[in-house]
Amino acid sequence: MAHPVPPDFVVIFGRPGSGKSSLAERMGAEFGYNLIRTGEMLRAAIRRHDFLGQRVESHLAKGDLVPDSLIFELLEANLKSPGVSRLLFDGFPRTLGQVPLLEQFERRLDFRIDCYLEVVVSREEAVARMTGRRVCPKCGATYHLIARPPKVAETCDRDGTRLERRPDDTAQVVEFRQQVYDDHALPILDHYERKCPDLCRKVDGAQPFEAVYAETRRALGVRG
Ligand code: AMP
């Protein structure tokens, strides 16, 4: 791939704890991607206590996936604007059933995914990392106590809100979410590997964050 700039429409995959959301945030800041983060949209709906939030709260607390029909509803509400530029999907598609939903949005909003990026870490490494994860309950920014600490302990760099542990980062839920990833995401990655191998990229997520980010830029064809 010889893109002087990164592809415009990217899907990022990685097991919970792989660091994919931190990478997505950094890519968004550097290259101006609009982040489409279904997990964050769902948590925002729960914080607002709106109709969708009430229906998805127990799924998130258990680490279970939200039904495809509700994900469709969520994206319908959030992915409307035509003339979309630079989208980075983080957390969608999450099941084989959501693959055709993405294709539907591609047709309707007239864009084509030009890179499927997988951040590869072992299940054991991911579990170890998840215990150090913290999020900002206000803006959704993600931190890690060791790998990506905030400037002031337990405080969001962006808005000064006290950071929290996600309720789905507890030990049993963490293991369950890894299993959900193995059961649902791995078949999606196989699907894209078969359908469009030239659009698929992998980066080694088991390195320090800066090294993963540098490898990601190279994988996306960004030079310098
Ligand atoms: P994330 O922030 O991407 O780790 O997502 C947190 C939780 O939101 C997941 O464990 C699921 O319960 C739910 N979720 C996020 N995205 C999806 C999706 N595309 N399909 C189904 N459930 C999702």
| Band of residue 223 on the pLDDT scale cut at 50, 70, 90 | confident
**What's the gap in Å between 224 CA and the centre of ligand 1?**
34
* Ligand 1, atom nearest to 62 Cα: 12
Could you tell me what percent of the chain has a pLDDT over 70? 97
DSSP state of 170: S
In the chain, domain spans: 9-122+185-219
Q: Map 187-205 to HEC letters.
A: HHHHHHHHHCHHHEEEEEC
pLDDT 10s digits, 161-201: 999 988 778 888 889 999 999 999 999 999 999 999 999 99
* Ligand 1, atom nearest to 92 Cα: 19
Query: Is residue 137 scored above 80 in pLDDT?
Result: yes
**Cβ–Cβ contacts within 10 Å for residue 151, how many?**
8
Residue 199 CA to residue 52 CA, distance in Å, equals: 33
- Within 6 A (CB) of ligand 1 lie 16, 38-39, 42, 59-60, 63-66, 71, 91-92, 94, 98, 168, 177
CA 57 remoteness from chain centre: 18
pLDDT 10s digits, 9-59: 999 999 998 999 999 999 999 999 999 999 999 999 999 999 999 999 999
Query: Is residue 102 scored above 90 in pLDDT?
Result: yes
The token pair that represents 58 in the structure block: 């127990």
Determine contact, residues 139/223, Cβ cutoff 8 Å: no
Its CATH architecture, for the domain 9-122+185-219, is: 3-Layer(aba) Sandwich (3.40)
| Band of residue 2 on the pLDDT scale cut at 50, 70, 90 | very low
Residue 214 CA to residue 224 CA, distance in Å, equals: 10
pTM of the model: 0.86
Residue 153 CA to residue 121 CA, distance in Å, equals: 26
Best residue for ligand 1 mutational test, from 46, 66, 72 (most atoms within 8 Å of Cβ): 66
pLDDT 10s digits, 75-91: 998 887 655 789 999 99
